[in-house]
Structure 1
């Protein structure tokens, strides 16, 4: 299998041996480190026709498609991101529209669904109303977290407050789980007390819940379009869940006039849907805030950028990236010749740090320079 492998040794050792690195034929005067593809990764790319011709295994074909995507990602330039920064500003405006728009719509929907629940006395509609209230509360939490994360206080929060958004999401998920459990308890009590009269939703109540469904479709599509942002993704998940919750709640409430227990049973199902969704969301966010590692493809990109950054970098010793909330912290250990002047090693490593911090979702990068790789790993606590 013609797999892609990145040798993390440029010169093999300080004596200048090749270390297996390809020797590209560069145009006259072109430096190895200035070439677009210094390690000849394009030579490893396979065309779609070549991939389709592979009959041995579907997994092998998928492997080469993923390798092509990796090559494209590695060769993407990291310099000149003015256009990307402008796009980021426009997307931030879209994100604010998603957050503030969701809060405004949720205020209206909460009032409408509160009327529908009280007028019909339906537990299933009470469940959808409680979900609407929590949507409103979640919007306020995310709005506060987004605003707090942009207001930095260098002395009080030296690393910024970007993790405020992740913490807010965990708090909100906990509240949603609590409300879901309370709804389940109340619905079980209603099932035990079989003397309850079935709810009778009025046409107005049905119209209000139907309006809520249509509104949630629009909000979901908008938030999904910018779901690369954590807050927008959380809102998209919430709006998607609301479609299932409100739809099922309305269905159970309407059918309960023929079978009384469908209303509390429907409320239990709605509460379980909410509970499962937000328990999983909390688990994912907790993984991010405790420092989950970045995905392997991103680590490969970091290694490639560090390895090809400058001719003075002989090796990449270690390369790690881990979440600190939604963003990433990057740590890279590179090796230079022991005779490299301090000023030069500083300038090279600082330039690499700036380059790494220009990557999307990288909040902070730390570059450490050493002259050998035989030492024990730094910062690793003994167990």
Structure 2
């Protein structure tokens, strides 16, 4: 026999202005009285400062519990402030994408000049990384633009996954370039070569590139709600380390041992390869259907359970990624004698409520009259 995720009885959850369908129901601020479980912030900090590991773990638990309760009690739906904030966030994300592309054009020219002037393989590796930054900006821009174009007949569920696919394609290209640079550096090591020249202009141009990347990193990192901006922030962070390391290896090769230059190019390429292989793996997990964060799923269950007083149980709940956004499936249980019209309206209003959450692409609500059955939508061999 299955056990429902959430069951009645529960405290009264709605006021007297209920209508038959629940479409205008106004939930109380804390229908399940969760605020009573909040632990005072001062007590949490006292536990976390304790010398005893048990109390520190208890403090960490209470802190996580407080965060979960605050998340559960957040209002559902978008206010006018949310709409304004989203519009502002989209503008900032557009500035990040287009600004990064413009700056990367300038940086590519600077680094290409520095690499040619010095003949350093390590600087050529960083220059190749800058070129791929240009390509990444183009891919993300095209993917984001394409995802916004609606075609209900051809793409009934939208094209939000286009951005995820763009990131996977870009990551694959970065990995390919890294492998090619490793091959060329190994050839140079085998053949032996002279130490690279390091004129002042090469050092100056790479330094300008580092300063520009630092500014871009801080700006993109501040846009936590934009997947594209976060990918660009990761790219700028990697560039800061890669360019600094490449410049250092080129200078060391010039002043000490020639082989430090191709060795530095191999190290830079391996760093790029590892970073973007990991990114591709993460994005593939999202597009395949990785489960959403457990805290998010708990909020889904809470919203479904407190949606209407006639929801007796929450039978099952699933939340999984379809790209960067999430699909939600919820099975609720109502009285067997509930009319079709009544149960439909409650289920539909719950669906609309779930789809108003920021990260939810689509929500599917199934109304059942009992929970003692085998799991649905399962294939048995």
| TM-score (norm: length of structure 1) | 0.92
Q: State how far apart, in whole Å, the 2-side matches of 1:50 and 1:250 are.
A: 50
Give unmatched runs, 5+ long, in structure 1.
Answer: 1-5, 11-17
Structure 1 residues 342 and 225: CA distance shift in structure 2, 3 A = same
SS in 1 for 2:321: strand
Give yes or no for contact 1:227–1:236 (8 Å, CA) kept in 2.
no
Q: State how far apart, in whole Å, the 2-side matches of 1:23 and 1:352 are.
A: 18
SS in 2 for 1:178: helix
Q: State how far apart, in whole Å, the 2-side matches of 1:23 and 1:350 are.
A: 22
Instruction: Give the equivalent residue in structure 2 for 1:366.
Output: 364
Give yes or no for contact 2:214–2:236 (8 Å, CA) kept in 1.
yes
Superposition pairs for residues 64-83 of structure 1, below 5 Å?
64-83=62-81
Give unmatched runs, 5+ long, in structure 2.
Answer: 19-24
Aligned length: 366
Shift of 1:214: 0.5
Q: CA RMSD in A?
A: 1.8
Q: State how far apart, in whole Å, the 1-side matches of 2:45 and 2:237 are.
A: 37
Structure 1 residues 88 and 23: CA distance shift in structure 2, 3 A = closer
Counterpart among 28, 34, 39 of residue 27 in structure 2? 34
Give yes or no for contact 2:78–2:356 (8 Å, CA) kept in 1.
no
Shift of 1:339: 1.2
Instruction: Give the equivalent residue in structure 2 for 1:301.
Output: 299
Instruction: Give the equivalent residue in structure 1 for 2:37.
Output: 44
Shift of 1:293: 0.3
Instruction: Give the equivalent residue in structure 2 for 1:220.
Output: 217
Counterpart among 69, 88, 91 of residue 89 in structure 2? 91
Instruction: Give the equivalent residue in structure 1 for 2:232.
Output: 235
Q: State how far apart, in whole Å, the 1-side matches of 2:45 and 2:112 are.
A: 57
Q: State how far apart, in whole Å, the 2-side matches of 1:80 and 1:186 are.
A: 54
Instruction: Give the equivalent residue in structure 2 for 1:282.
Output: 280
Larger deviation: 41-50 or 311-320?
41-50
Q: State how far apart, in whole Å, the 2-side matches of 1:227 and 1:377 are.
A: 37
Shift of 1:79: 4.0
Instruction: Give the equivalent residue in structure 2 for 1:193.
Output: 191
Instruction: Give the equivalent residue in structure 2 for 1:127.
Output: 125
Shift of 1:227: 2.7
SS in 1 for 2:169: helix
Superposition pairs for residues 1-383 of structure 1, below 5 Å?
8-10=6-8, 18=9, 21-22=10-11, 34-52=27-45, 54=47, 56-194=54-192, 196-257=193-254, 258-383=256-381
Task: Give the number of the structure with larger relative contact order, counting CA–CA contacts within 8 Å between residues 6 or more apart.
Answer: 2
Structure 1 residues 364 and 7: CA distance shift in structure 2, 3 A = closer
Q: State how far apart, in whole Å, the 1-side matches of 2:46 and 2:244 are.
A: 47
Give yes or no for contact 1:292–1:323 (8 Å, CA) kept in 2.
yes
SS in 2 for 1:57: helix
Q: State how far apart, in whole Å, the 2-side matches of 1:23 and 1:62 are.
A: 32
Give yes or no for contact 2:68–2:295 (8 Å, CA) kept in 1.
yes
Q: State how far apart, in whole Å, the 1-side matches of 2:268 and 2:163 are.
A: 27
Shift of 1:57: 3.1
Shift of 1:7: 6.5
SS in 2 for 1:364: strand
Shift of 1:50: 3.1
Shift of 1:111: 1.1
| TM-score (norm: length of structure 2) | 0.92
Q: Deviations over 1:26-64 (max 9, x none)?
A: 9x9698973211111011111123335555332221111
Q: State how far apart, in whole Å, the 1-side matches of 2:87 and 2:329 are.
A: 27
Q: State how far apart, in whole Å, the 2-side matches of 1:311 and 1:219 are.
A: 50
SS in 1 for 2:366: strand
Give yes or no for contact 1:33–1:311 (8 Å, CA) kept in 2.
no
Give yes or no for contact 1:174–1:282 (8 Å, CA) kept in 2.
yes
SS in 1 for 2:6: coil
Q: Deviations over 1:98-141 (max 9, x none)?
A: 00111111111111111111121110000000000000000000
Shift of 1:300: 0.6
Larger deviation: 197-206 or 320-329?
197-206
Shift of 1:270: 0.6
